[in-house]
Chain A
Amino acid sequence: MSVDTATVAKIAALARIKLSEGEVAAMVPELNGILAWVEQLGEVDVTGVEPMTAVIENKQRLRDDVVNADPLTGGDNRDAVLANAPAAEHGFFGVPKVIE
């Protein structure tokens, strides 16, 4: 499988990365080089093989159902959460208007 400029432009839109026409054109052969190389995985007989889900077997834990059990990752941290926001107003993240 290989990609063309339209496909690269579509992927870039999905990934929310603005690319100029020139950047899209430059990316096409680069991605095709990488994709042609990974195609060799198709040679491998994977009949009956399960896809890897956990590289080291581990139990999934549930935390205790307690509010703010770990104060570091719990709530009541509004100021810390907003501290690095490019635009924080009135205790909220600021974004451009989304409703006309």
Chain B
Amino acid sequence: MTDLTELGVAAIRDGVAKGDFTAVEVAEAFNANVAAAQEALNAFIVATPEKALEAARATDAKRAKGEPLGKMGGVPIGMKDLFATKGVQTTAASHILEGFTPEYESTVSQKLWDAGAGMLGKLNLDQFAMGSSNETSYFGNVISPWRRKDGGNAALAPGGSSGGSSAAVSARLAPAATGTDTGGSIRQPAAFTGISGIKPTYGRCSRWGIVAFASSLDQAGPMARDVRDCAIMLEAMAGFDPKDSTSLDMPVPAWEAGLSGDLTGKKVGIPREYRMDGMDADVAASWDAGIAWLKDAGAEIVDVSLPHTKYALPAYYIIAPAEASSNLARYDGVRYGLRDLPDGAGLQDMYAATRAAGFGAEVKRRILIGTYVLSAGFYDAYYTQAQKVRTLIAQDFKNAFTLCDVILAPTAPTAAFGLGEKSDDPLSMYLNDVFAVPASLAGLPAMSVPAGLNREGLPLGLQIVGKPFDEQGVLNAGLAIEQRAAFSAKPEKWW
């Protein structure tokens, strides 16, 4: 029998529907992989094998009765531990939410269960999704299943913040996983681990029940082995939700049915400002290969300019911490989560002690930056200026999209780096998101697909950014790359 954990979303869905194997067999196979890899990779904070089995049994029962199985029928998935899951601990990888067991289910996770998916467990991440290497989790680092081919066994970062998601999908612990992307947190980890991931247009997926980091940027999206699997899962996740005031009241397109790798008549923009001095040679070469592949798919390549690119990261590191400092004010030791009440402490002391004990170093750093840039006397110089620059960055994209349909760029400036290599220097860590953050600031759909391996044998991703609401155009360009890159590498199993 084929190894069921080598199958992706479409293959599992179709195989279960046809009766080639049962959903329970699939869930059991992935549950076994999750358990076997936990000690080495630490991809999950909590495994929920019984939830996966329960959903699988329901799917098999529906099939026996001849009922429809749903878009994700029989597919077990990993759920980033930023989504509230009723009755299952939800921590955002923080100590302050350790033990928090939601009384409700996030809209996105509920939609996935309604579509027939089952939950393998809650995936590790950077604490409150703040990080690019999964080194800020209270529950320990996630270790990438990938290793450099130099014979060493240095532990590499799976990317972040959706590092548990990327590690789990690339190591075949899950056929797909949810991610969230605030400034690259789906795309960069997907690139680091040789998988695909798409952040849809801001507002496509409801934020209700997702632990908030920076509300004007946060978007959920799927991470999976290929473009088709992302399209299927995004269809299940997206849709209007009256409980999220920024939810888009638009129908969800049939993205899977609309997939086509033929780009005849399409124009692909290459932003000249992304070609930076001292760019990694392998990353530059993969970008050139991507250009050639899209040309081969029938697209016309055009030069475009995004002049404010260099200001995107500094603007992001004002706006995101500012929103985070407001959002994270809710963790006060009163309503849920940790409480640290020193002897004789009053209410204010309790707040300060609880937050000191419950937040990690990077979270504190960002709350302090956010508090500072929003404080009286500095608000205009920092926050208002950053929001004006954000307007200019969005305008850059609008101008570029008068000349092209999608934009092609690298996902990240490097392949995966080693754990500990950047964790002492916040700025060098932030710079890893240089290509991802502009699309986040503009709310645009953007995806990463694997392009190949670098000279160290590590995956590199290519990023496609589209117009608002044009996830189809992004997916199709991603498919055109996928068909030509023929990326089949996977991490050699050592765990």
Contacts and interface: CB of A to CB of B under 8 A. Distances in A.
Interface in B337-375: 337-339, 341, 345-353, 355-356, 359, 364-365, 367-369, 371-372, 375
A56 interface: yes
Interface in B427-465: 427, 441-443
Interface in A71-100: 72-73, 77, 80-81, 83-87, 93, 95-98
Interface string B308-325: 101100110110000001
A96 B368 contact: no
Interface string B407-444: 00000000000000000001100000000000001110
A48 B78 CA distance: 46
A56 B443 contact: yes
Contacts of A70: 242-243
Describe A's contact surface by its main secondary structure. loop
B389 interface: yes
B325 A93 contact: no
B468 interface: yes
A55 B203 CA distance: 10
B38 interface: no
B190 to A, nearest CB: 22
Nearest to A50: B391
Contact of B384 (A51, A73, A84): A51
25 contacts: A11-B371, A15-B368, A18-B356, A34-B427, A38-B318, A41-B315, A41-B385, A42-B385, A44-B308, A46-B388, A50-B388, A52-B390, A55-B217, A55-B390, A55-B442, A55-B443, A56-B248, A59-B249, A60-B245, A70-B243, A83-B103, A84-B335, A86-B338, A87-B339, A95-B350
B387 to A, nearest CB: 3
Interface string B379-419: 00110111111111010000000000000000000000000
Contacts of B389: 41, 44, 46
Contacts, number: 172
A68 interface: no
B385 A46 contact: yes
A37 B359 contact: no
A89 to B, nearest CB: 12
A32 to B, nearest CB: 11
A25 interface: no
Contacts of A37: 314, 317, 427
A42 B380 CA distance: 11
B314 A31 contact: no
A16 B355 CA distance: 7
B311 A86 contact: no
B372 A17 contact: no
A17 B243 contact: no
B21 interface: no
A19 interface: yes
Interface string B200-225: 01110000000000001100000000
A11 B315 CA distance: 20
B478 interface: no
B337 A96 contact: no
Interface string B97-139: 0001111100000000000000000000000000000000000
A49 B388 contact: yes
A97 B341 CA distance: 12
A7 B386 CA distance: 22
Contact of B347 (A12, A14, A95): A95
A38 B369 CA distance: 11
A17 B364 contact: yes
Nearest to B372: A11
